[in-house]
Amino acid sequence: MDLEKDRKISQHTVLVVEDNADLNNLMCMVLQNAGYQTESALSGSDALDIARELSNIIMLLDYKLPDMTGREVIERLHAKRKKVPFIIVTGQGDEKVAVDMMKYGARDYVVKDPGLMDMLPHLISRIDNDLSLEKKLAHAQSSIARSQAKLSILYRVSTAISQTLEIDRLLGIVLETVTDLEFLHVGKKGGILLVEDDRMHLHSHLGHSDEFIKLHQGMRVGECLCGHAAQTGEIIVSENCNHDIRHTIRYPGMQPHGHIIIPLHARGRVTGVLYLYCTSPPVIDNEKKELLTSIGNQVGIAIENSKLYEDTKRVALHDPLTGLANRRMMDIVLDRNFQRARRLKSPFSAVMIDIDHFKEYNDRHGHAQGDRMLIEIAGILQKETRKIDLAIRYGGEEFLVLLTDADAEHALDFAERMRKSVEEREAVTISLGVASFAEWVHSKNILIEKADRALYEAKRKGRNRIEMSA
pLDDT band for 135, please (50, 70, 90 cuts): very low
Beta-strand relationship, 57-62 and 86-90: parallel
At 283 the three-state DSSP class reads coil
Proportion of the chain in helix, strand, coil states, percent, rounded to 5: 50, 20, 30
* Domain 1-128, CATH among 2.60.220.30, 3.40.50.2300, 2.60.40.290, 3.40.50.720: 3.40.50.2300
Confidence check: pLDDT of 395 > 70: yes
Q: What is the pLDDT of residue 118?
A: 58
- Model pLDDT for residues 248-290, shown as the tens digit of each residue: 888 777 888 889 999 999 888 999 999 998 878 888 888 888 8
Domains of the chain by residue range: 1-128, 165-316, 327-468
Q: pTM of the predicted model, to two decimals? A: 0.45
Q: What is the pLDDT of residue 126?
A: 57
Confidence check: pLDDT of 127 > 60: no
| H/E element, 238 | strand 236-238
What percent of the chain is predicted at pLDDT more than 70? 87
Would you say the CATH fold of 165-316 matches that of 1-128?
no
Tell me which CATH code domain 327-468 carries.
3.30.70.270
Q: What is the pLDDT of residue 365?
A: 95
Q: What is the pLDDT of residue 443?
A: 86
Q: Is 397 a catalytic residue?
A: yes
Q: How far apart are CA 435 and CA 217, in angstroms?
A: 53
- Model pLDDT for residues 143-186, shown as the tens digit of each residue: 555 566 667 787 888 888 888 877 888 888 888 888 888 888 88
Q: What is the pLDDT of residue 449?
A: 95
Q: What is the pLDDT of residue 1?
A: 36
Among the listed residues 234, 397, 398, 449, the single catalytic one is: 397
Confidence check: pLDDT of 362 > 90: yes
Q: What is the pLDDT of residue 134?
A: 45
Q: What is the pLDDT of residue 356?
A: 96
User: Which architecture does CATH list for 165-316?
Assistant: 2-Layer Sandwich (3.30)
- Model pLDDT for residues 2-21, shown as the tens digit of each residue: 434 344 455 678 899 988 88
17 and 44 in contact (C-beta within 8 Å)?
A: yes
Please provide residue 343's backbone torsions phi and psi, each rounded to the nearest 5 degrees. Answer: -75, -45
C-alpha closest to that of 354 among 429, 427, 426, 425: 429
415 and 316 in contact (C-beta within 8 Å)?
A: no
pLDDT band for 439, please (50, 70, 90 cuts): confident
273 and 200 in contact (C-beta within 8 Å)?
A: yes
